[in-house]
Each structure stands twice: as structure tokens, then as C-alpha cells.
Chains A and B, each alone.
Chain A
Amino acid sequence: MISDATLADHGHPKPGFIRTYIFSLDHKMIARQYLILGLIFLMVAGLFAVLIRAHQVNPGRPLLVVGNMLTKVAGQAMTGDVYNSLFTNHGAMMIFFAITPIVIGAFGNFIIPLQVGAGDMAFPKLNMMSFWVIFLGAVLIVASFFMPNGSAAGGWTAYPPLSSGKDASGSAYLLGRGPLLWILAIALAGTSSLMGSINYIATMLNMRAKGMTLMRVPLVTWGLFYTAVLNVLWVPVVAVALFQVFLDRALDANFFVPAMGGQPLLYQHLFWGFGHPEVYILILPVWGLVGDLLSVFSRKPAFGYKLTVLSMGSIVALSQVVWGHHMFTSGMSPVLGNWFVLLTITISVPTAVFFLNWLATLWRGAIRLTVPMLFSLGVVFVFAIGGLTGLFNALQTFDIHVHDTYFVVAHFHYTLAASVLFGAFAGIYYWFPKMFGRTMNRTLGTLHFAFSFIFMNCVFMPMFVVGIGSHMRRIVDWTKYEYLGELRPLIEFMGIAAVALGLAQLLFVFNFLYSVFFGKRAEQNPWQATSLEWVAPTPIPHGNFIEPPVVYCGPHEFSNPGVTERDWIMQTEDTGVTQS
């Protein structure tokens, strides 16, 4: 089914400034809006992370420059309430306001209609609303910092009774309106995700161009589709959990008040019921993107495309029944624990299939080390580490010891901060020419990759050692514990590496901003790729394609021996020699 939206210039007058740039119905403009929002929060939440690690180098003293902004008493070191608020918002902002807007909001919005050959998303008005809803959420989470008692400080996980309850004298454990605003902000982010997900699913299933079968859709769109499915199923669950916390706080409900029959453990089940699929929500688009980019820059078809799609699907299924591995210390029955161990550990099988397919795509290829390719290869490396350390955490007995230590923090930063973020960078460098009509500087991009890769590993590899050293999480001052003193060299090293990692991102910021305004104009298909977004002209007109595309082959037709003057075949070319 192709709507009239496929045809460019379908006869309405050119919209004004506000309709074009602010309240746009065009998926490409909405994507850019998501990208800017996401990049801003990436910098803010990233700054919080640098502050956290720099503070840990010398926890008894205030930080340089910003130290006095972070304490009530001048010259005093950061106190627990401020520190707790820093890591709480580092987590919440990174997940809901940085990574989700970039990898799901920006990439999904920009790429899905283009790659399936549609003129826009299925529901443009809903799409526009989804951005403004998360924008409102972003305003609220920033506002939470200006409340008298500060923002939320219960961890991004916000376990009750800490986040919801009151002590014997009737004052809340976490004072003030900040936590309420924080909860509302996340609820709005979730609502935005739901709206977007409806669009992604409908567009993927109903608006594919003629000849674009499901098995010819690029892997990144498959990843985004799966992400949308998980979102639709599980965001409502976390909304319920947060809503219960909200009601306990604001209206003295008793969901999590044991004396009145409430059960704090219920929150953990609801939260992690969402929380585990959430981490796959964040990484599925990256898995798809890496699959596509390794193919483009090896000039070879993606090895085992169907099996990759199937593996991603099986992980979608498995991810929904493993949430208990976040709760091994909660006192669950060992029988239940055994099931969670087995199901969690089984996820390594489809993951191994991806790795095989990625390596086999590269094998016997003709590899081009462009900046998107460097980041994709980086993902393969850091996700290998992140995924393999997931195996440790899946083991109940081992996990009971490392739960709430830095071992877990290192694991999820390898899979999130390293893998998903590198995937986000890969996508930004890759689609920048199409999004903004200009090219980013390759030298700066290569340096950005090199420094990010080195310093990312320098921060998080020692963190595994620190976790094995039984260093607890979320501790404002580790020097209170004598046994942690031995870990000092590691902690100092991580602090320096974190500051360096933060500084390295300036290379990207400068490159991005400069290139948006002054970069060299991009050609239509600078990477010599084959999917439909590169069929569209640069800059992409309203309606995307000059005429509705007709698709004759899959998205990875590289180095086909039947075509000799080029090593790629666009999806819209009818050559008769393709196998997909």
C-alpha cells in the first residue's frame, strides 16, 4: 500500500517557518529535532558522569571549578544527596533523553520511511506529537533540578520505599517535588516512545514500497521494528510502576507501604519486567545497523541475513522472560532463580549467531575503514566484552556477590555506553550526508573514534577489576571502607580516563556543528550504499522520492559478479542477477 505521500510536491503550498522547522509533520525534520535533543542530553548526562568519576578520585574534597555548585557549604566535599542525584540523572537522562531520542527517535524517524520506500510515516501528526511530548519531559527533568530539595536521588531504578515512602515523622525519604517532576518526565518520555512505536510498526508493516518484501528490508529497520514491538509491550508496565510510586508520594497511597499491606518487591518485578526488555530496546537498532554497515563497508552481502533477523526476533522473545536476573539477591526461590539463569544464559546463542554473521560478513570482503565502519567495528569489540560479561552476571551464585558492585556497572556500560553509543556515532556519521546535505570531516571523525575507543576501554575495563574487588555501587565516598583502599590506583586511573573520554567528545561536537553549517556539500550516495535512502536525492525533498520506488533486490547487493562496472546494485535496479 503506497499513499499519495510518496509523490514529492503533492500540490499543497510551501509551509511557513513554524510548520517547517518547529511543528513539522515531516519525519526527517522530526528526526533532526530528536537528534539535537538527544545530543544535548548526551552532553549533559556525560558531564554528570565525568563529574562522578572525577569526584571519586578524591572523594573527600570538592571538585575544581564546579565544586561549590555541588555543595551547600563552600569548601565542603560533595555530599551523598547530591551525588545520588548525579548518578540518578546520569542514568535517567542517558537512557530516556539521550540514547532513546538518538538511536530510536532520530534514526527511527529518519530512516524507516526512507528505507521501506514510503513518503513519510504512517501517522505524521502522531509523530510530531511524539517529539513535543518528550520535549516536555525534558523540560520537566531539567526543572526537577531547580526544586528546593533538588531532583530525584533514588537511582534511575527508583526503588520504593526510598523513592515513594515517608518515615515515621511523615517526611518523605526523598524530599520535595523534584522526584515527582522526575517521574512525570520519564512518564512523558515513555508516552513519546509509545507514540513513536505505533508509527514504526504501522509504517514497517503497511507502507513498504512495491517489491519491498520483509526480507528485503535493511537490518537496521528490522532492529527498529523489534524495538518498537518491545516498547509497545513493556513501556506501559514501567508507567504503572512509576505511577504507583507517584500515587504513594503524592496521595499517600499504600502500594509500597508494608505496614498497610503494600509490597515493595512488586515494584522490582514491574520495573525490571520493563527494565530488561528496555536494554534490548536500546541495542536492537544498533545490532541491525552494525549488520548493515559491516556489509556496506566490506562491499559484501550481510552474511546470514535471515538468521540475523530470526536471532534478533528470538532475543526479543527471550528478553521478556529473564527479568529476575536483576533480582537474584531479593530472596527468590532458587527454583525460580534456576529458570532465570537458564533463560538468560540462552540469550548467548542467538548473540553468537550475530557475531558469526558479522565476522563472516567481513571475511573475504574488501574492507573500507571509513568513520562509520570504525565505529561499527568498535561495536563488535565492545559488545563482545559486554555480552560475555553478561554471562558472569547470569550465574545466580556469582551474581549474588557482584550485584550492586562495579562489576555490573562495567558490564552495562560496555553494552550501553560503549556498544550503543558507538552505534549511535556510527549512524550519525553515516547518515549525516543525507540528514544535513553536507559531509563531516573524516580526520576529526577518525580521531574521535580512536580516542573514544581507547578511553572508553580505559574507563570500563578497570571497572571490572574494581567490581571483582567488591566495590559497591552508588557510594559517594569509598574511602570510608578500608578494604577498598587497595583499589585506589584503579579508581584514579578511571577518573583520568573519564575526563579524557569527555574531552574527546569535543572533537565530535566541533565536527558536527561545523559541518552542519560549513561542511562540504554531500553527493547523493557518498558511501556507495544500496538501500533506498541513498536512492532519494540529496537534499531529500518533501515526500522523499521523485516517483514511488519499485524494489527488485535486497539491501546488501555488493560485489555481485553479474555487474562489473560497479561493486554495488541499488535496490531499485532491475538487473536480474541478484540473489535476494
Chain B
Amino acid sequence: MYPKNISAHGGEVDHLFNLAFLLTGITLLLIVGIMLWILIVYRGRPGRRAHYSHGTSKGALILTAVVAVVVFVGLDVTLAIEDHHAYKIMYGTRPKDPVVVQVFAKQFEWHFRYVGTDGVFGTADDIYSLGELTVPLNKPVLLRMRSADVVHSLFLPYMRRKQDVLPGQTVELRFTATQTTEQARAERSDPNYHSEISTIAGWFRFRGENTERLDWFSVNKPEDDEDDHHSKKAPVSLLPDPKAFDFEIACAELCGANHARMRGVLTVRSEKKYEAWVAEQSKLAQSDEAPEINDIWIGWTIAPPVTTGSNAVEPKESS
């Protein structure tokens, strides 16, 4: 599956896909194969009569029962069990001490707030970000999300997860990243790098290299217009620069006219670099150059965290 999974357990989704593809693929080949064979062998020919049967014989009923059982056990139960297993792995645990990030979805932006060095939300050293979610490598992350207006959905394709953000509720999403942005950039800069989908996409490529837009159906600007990078002979290659690669975040629930622009960036830093980033950003937030805090965050404050038995430490929230 594409893009490459970089979460600790997102591979379960890929595994489910592979299993379902195998089982349904076999079923499809059987159905289509049998059908084609029948169409060839039993095509109507003059003088040949069809076989008269209503399919009510005992043999027919047994065949039907066998097919029903095989489908139920071989396809349905098998897949349901695998899905249940995958679900438990991906969503069934609450790791202790997650890095908590607050997310506010709004038409058409993703706002993020981090605790900063004091570990408490709602204080002067909180880090605010518009559109960029920064997380540490290999540490569980807990997103607590709200919506300011309509239904949005945080989609993390690289984590194989999404969660609808409904106004009026606080929803949660957990994941653990297993590759840093730096590592991803290095990987993609390798000349031998091939993405998971490049082979299949290649089968459909019918015109040379992928550097020009197909203009059959559109009105195109004159070729000498170099400012507009949508024109046909764009000076910039349409393939992204691997050194500028970023994991992307999208909104996956139609939220209005600019739903397509509700893009975010996920930055994964190694633990050391993440701590350095938190320290630096917290200091900046308390300094005079700190930007204005967006109105959205008013009212979403947090009391000091409380430990309750064996449950993960989760800050209590008000409002």
C-alpha cells in the first residue's frame, strides 16, 4: 500500500489488505474463470438443447450449503478475525506517558498545541503551530482533537489512520512514528528508490516521463508563461524534490469550498532533536517575538495531570 507505512502498527492495515486481496482475488478468478468456460462450452448451437433443471435436487442443495459454508468460514470469518486482531493491535491499547498534542480543526486549517517544557497545557510556554504536527520518533503520541465548526477528519496516510473530528466532542487518535523526516528524505534521495506504487502506476503511463501535465481536456496557457507552474512546459519537474520531502496530513471529510487545501505536515524528529525543538519553541513562545495566539484555543485549558492507577497519565481537561 502507498504511501509507505511509518507507524509502529499501521502495517496491520497492509497485512489485512494483502490477505483480503488474496482471498477475494482467488474468488474472483474462480467466478470469472468458470463463467468464461461456460460461455465457451455452452454457447447456443443449432440442434442442442439446454439441460432442464430447476436446481432443486438434493445435490444442488448440498452444493449450495457447501458454497455458503466455504464463503462464510473461508472468507467472512477469516477476515473478521484478522480484522479484530488488527484492531486490537492498532487501537486496543493505551500506552503510558504518551506525548499529548491538542488539535483544533477549523475551516480550512489544522491548529496544533504542544505542552512545552513545563508539561502542562494552558501555560505561557505552550507551543502553537498552524499546519505542522511535530512528534518524536518511537514514542506514543496522543492527539486530542476538536473542531471549531463543521465535521473534519484528520487523515494520516503514513500512519494508516484517520479520525473524524466532530464539533461538540473531543476525539482521540494515537500512533507511534517509526521513521524521522530526515530518514525519509535520505531514503527518497537514493537513486534506486522506488515507491510502493511506482510499478503499478508505471503500467498506466503511456507517454514518456512524468514531467508534463496532460493537456487534452484543458485550456492551456501559452508556453512562454514560466510563472504559472500549472502550464504545460513547466520549468519545474512535477516529481517532488526528495530533499524537501515531508509527511503530509489531509482532511478526509468534506468541510467546504477549500476542503482540498486543508493540508498539514507531519514532522517526525529523533527524540533528542524533538526535545531540542520543544525547548527552543517554548523559549520563543515566552519571548517578545511570540506570535499572537489564535482565538480558537481560548477556553480549552487543562488542570495539572492526575495519575489514576494503572491507566496512562491523562491530563484532565475543562470546558
Contact = CB atoms under 8 A, between A and B. Distances in A.
Interface of A: 54-55, 57-58, 60-64, 67, 75, 77, 79-81, 84, 153-155, 159-162, 165, 167, 173-174, 258-259, 262-265, 298-307, 329-331, 334, 337-338, 341-342, 345-346, 348-349, 352-353, 355-357, 359-369, 377, 380-381, 384-385, 388-389, 391-392, 394-398, 400-401, 403-405, 462, 465, 468-470, 472-483, 485-490, 492-493, 495-496, 499, 556, 558-561, 567, 579-580
A472 B255 CA distance: 13
Contacts of A80: 256-261
A264 B82 CA distance: 32
Given A396-B87, A397-B86, A558 B50 contact: yes
Contacts of B42: 298, 362-367
B55 A301 contact: yes
A338 B49 contact: no
B148 to A, nearest CB: 9
Given A388-B28, A391-B24, A162 B254 contact: yes
A412 to B, nearest CB: 16
A485 B246 CA distance: 13
B71 A349 contact: yes
A298 B48 CA distance: 12
A360 to B, nearest CB: 6
Given A331-B171, A465-B200, 7 more contacts: A61-B231, A80-B259, A160-B151, A364-B42, A480-B260, A483-B248, A579-B56
10 contacts: A161-B167, A264-B168, A303-B54, A303-B55, A345-B79, A359-B38, A364-B51, A366-B43, A400-B162, A404-B155
Interface string B1-22: 1110000000011001100110
A305 B54 contact: yes
Contacts of A482: 240, 245-246, 248
B90 interface: yes
B75 A348 contact: yes
Interface in B143-165: 149-151, 153, 155, 157, 160-164
Contact of A299 (B50, B153, B155): B50
A377 B2 contact: no
Contacts of B306: none
B52 A300 contact: yes
Nearest to A306: B56
B228 to A, nearest CB: 8
- Chain B interface size band reads 35 or more
B197 A303 contact: no
Interface stretch (B111-119, B211-219, B307-315): B211-219
A338 B86 CA distance: 12
A316 B48 CA distance: 39
Nearest to B40: A367
A195 to B, nearest CB: 32
A342 B80 contact: yes
Nearest to A155: B254
B68 A486 contact: no
Interface in B50-83: 50-56, 60, 63-64, 67-68, 71-72, 75-76, 79-80, 82-83
A303 B53 contact: yes
A300 to B, nearest CB: 4
A401 B51 contact: no
Interface of B: 1-3, 12-13, 16-17, 20-21, 24, 27-28, 31-32, 34-35, 38-39, 42-45, 48-56, 60, 63-64, 67-68, 71-72, 75-76, 79-80, 82-84, 86-87, 90-92, 107, 149-151, 153, 155, 157, 160-164, 166-169, 171, 195, 197-198, 200-202, 204-206, 210, 213-221, 228, 230-231, 238-240, 245-246, 248, 250-261, 263
A493 B206 contact: yes
Nearest to B16: A398
A369 B43 contact: yes
Nearest to A51: B217
Q: Which of B161, B166, B210 has the most CB of A within 10 A?
A: B166
Given A298-B42, A465-B200, A366 B171 contact: no
Given A264-B166, A360-B55, A381-B32, A404 B252 contact: yes
B162 A561 contact: no
A486 B195 contact: yes
A153 B2 CA distance: 29
A79 B256 CA distance: 11
B54 A496 contact: no
Contact of B67 (A160, A167, A352, A362): A352
B157 A470 contact: yes
Contacts of B2: 468-470, 483, 486
Q: Which 3 A-B pairs have the closest CB atoms?
A: A258-B168, A60-B230, A303-B55
B250 A472 contact: yes
A486 to B, nearest CB: 5
B42 to A, nearest CB: 5
B125 to A, nearest CB: 29
Nearest to A388: B24
A162 B150 contact: yes
A380 B217 contact: no
Contacts of B166: 264-265, 330-331
Contacts of B163: 329, 331
Given A62-B218, A367-B44, A490-B204, A475 B210 contact: no
Contacts of A388: 24, 27-28
Contacts of A560: 52
B247 to A, nearest CB: 8
Nearest to A307: B64
B3 A470 contact: yes
B259 A300 contact: no
B215 A58 contact: yes
Contacts of B24: 388-389, 391-392
Nearest to B83: A395
A579 B54 contact: yes
B20 A75 contact: no
B164 A329 contact: yes
A398 B44 contact: no
